[in-house]
Amino acid sequence: MQPARPLGETQPPPSDIPLVLPGPELGAVRPEPLPEAAEPGPVPSVEPAEQPVAAAVPEAPSAQEIPPAQEAPPAQETPPAQETPPAPTEAVHAPPPAAENVEPAHREPASAPAPVPAPASVSDPYDDEEFEATIVVPRAKTATRWKLIDLDGTAYPLHASNVLGRRPAPKDAPEQAQLVSLSDAERVLSRTHALLEVDADGLWVTDLDSTNGTDLVDADGGMVECEPRERTAVAAGFSLSLGGRLVSFEGPTD
């Protein structure tokens, strides 16, 4: 009994037949001599294949040929953008073309201004500041025999009707009455102060609602007040005080 072989080893099965390999016998085989190394001959020259010609590249300019870089101009400040106003919602109609030689339409004022009173004219004979002397304006054709004697001794003939005052106006006097504007340095007279009337019975005075009143003054200086709108007789030798401004008279018997 043969001993067991370890696992993994394979032993050819035993055979009684001799192993014959085809070919020459082992003893007749000789190794062939190696061929001698041939001498090195000339190495044929291999021309390099023609390379495609690349496009000509322009030579870079030299440092001397490069022009100096020009300085860029300073950047200008851009003004801020202006806001565009919103377009009006309502349609704006273009005005019609102006016609030649067309007069502008007349527009009436909305309301007439209130009239401004004109200042008093200096040429007005009844202006308060115009005359400092007594002015007599006759309005009748015939004078009486009575005379008014002013402060300076000037005598003025009296008519049948006479209105005395600072500046009596025709509208405030009876028709055809003579207007006697007395000098009034002390400003005591009213514009229309008193009415003097001459008739067959003598001389009469009527106060016309004056501010400072009318008084009869006798030769001794006594005074008698004349009631407004009442006709009072002026006796011979009496003077008349018009608010303190005196006038005297001459009658036909003097």
- Mean pLDDT computed over every residue of the chain: 74
Q: Write out the E strands in the chain.
A: 135-137, 147-149, 155-157, 161-165, 178-181, 194-199, 202-207, 214-217, 223-225, 231-234, 239-242, 245-250
What's the pLDDT score for residue 128? 47
pLDDT tens profile 156-168: 999 999 999 999 9
Give the CATH number, domain containing residue 169. 2.60.200.20
Q: Is the pLDDT of residue 150 over 60?
A: yes
| Average pLDDT rounded to a whole number, residues 243-252 | 94
Structure tokens at 204: 């009469």
Q: Is the pLDDT of residue 53 over 60?
A: no
When pLDDT is cut at 50, 70 and 90, the band that residue 202 belongs to is very high
Question: What total of structural domains would you count in the chain?
Answer: 1
pLDDT at 200: 93
| Residue 53 located in a structural domain | no
| 156: in domain | yes
Task: Classify strands 202-207 and 155-157 as parallel, antiparallel or unpaired.
Answer: unpaired
User: Which residue range is the domain that position 186 belongs to?
Assistant: 135-250
In a domain, 106, yes or no: no
Query: How far is residue 254's CA from residue 251's CA, in Å, rounded to a whole number?
Result: 5
Give whichever of 12-21, 98-107, 113-122, 129-138 has the largest mean pLDDT: 129-138
Angle at the Cα of 11 (from 6 to 17), degrees rounded to 5? 155
Query: Whole-model pTM?
Result: 0.50
The answer to whether residue 125 is domain-embedded is no
What end-to-end distance do the CA atoms of the chain give, in Å? 221
Is 239 a domain residue?
A: yes
Does residue 195 carry a pLDDT above 80?
yes
Would you say residue 121 lies in a domain? no
Q: Is 218 part of any domain?
A: yes
Rounded mean pLDDT, 131-146: 87
In the predicted model, what is the mean pLDDT of residues 78-107? 57
Q: Which residues contact 157 (CB under 8 A, 6 or more apart)?
A: 143, 144, 146, 147
Most confidently modeled range among 36-40, 56-60, 250-254: 250-254
CA distance 170 to 219: 33
Q: Tell me, yes or no, whether 1 lies in a domain.
A: no
> 196: pLDDT confidence band, cut at 50, 70 and 90?
very high
